Amino acid sequence: MSTNGPVVRLGHLYPDHLNIYADRGNIAVFQRRLEWRGLALDVVEVGLGDEIPEDCNLYYLGGGQDRDQLMVAQDLVGKADSLRRAAEGGAAVLAVCGGYQLMGHSYVAANGEEMAGTALLDLETTAGTDRLIGDVVLSVDLDGATGTVVGYENHAGRTRLGSECAPLGRVHKGHGNNGEDGFEGAVSGRCVGTYLHGPLLPKNPWLADTVLRWALDHSGANIELEPLDDTLERSAHATAVARAGLKR
């Protein structure tokens, strides 16, 4: 499909190290949902040692093993100011699982090693003794709209939010941030963090389009996203809700 409209510039952070939860699938969803509307996605991959460009409209940080997360944390902490400035300027950020943990102030791994985060989100994470695993269903209020978000979690981290960010959603099925407070993920401005993967976006087109609207707004594009035929996506979403034992 030809694209002749605005271009969303996406900074994919550490794709070679934080990519174990089908994170490229989320990038593909962003790309296709733009292309189906005659728009385009320009992906800039940022690896270890690379500077983070501040002119992106959207940044994505995925999940990885603790050893990869430690390497990334050591690299990211020295250039987190660039990411913070971009976010403060209105760019959107989506961080999943390990990337979500690095959006906070710190993450303490199972071996006791502490990794400094970017502090884009007011939260801290400490690894627990067991993993929180399974299907998740959330009710989410985001950007003036309410919807259901589904996904899969597999994390040892116990994340607790501070006062400067809000949960992404309330848990109806699953463990969420810590298995105790009934919440999952975090939101501050246009920065969203979540433990949900699988990947996250194919079954949650509403969430994908919310993030894309933010990115387009940051790009200066004054357009409305045209509705798409999301029959397949809605069916996959409904199947995930049913599998969790909940009514749609």
Q: Which domains does the chain have, with CATH numbers?
A: 7-243 (3.40.50.880)
Identify the residue whose tokens are 């299907």. Answer: 135
Assess whether 218 carries a catalytic annotation: no
pLDDT confidence band for 1 (50 / 70 / 90)? very low
**Stretch 106-119: mean pLDDT:** 90
Is the pLDDT reported for residue 174 higher than 60? yes
Question: In the predicted model, is pLDDT for residue 205 greater than 50?
Answer: yes
Mean pLDDT, the chain, integer: 93
Q: Which one from 56, 97, 165, 191 is the annotated catalytic residue? A: 97
Q: Which of 17, 175, 197, 218 is catalytic?
A: 197
- pLDDT beyond 80 at 160: yes
Tokens of 118: 């970017």
56 is catalytic: no
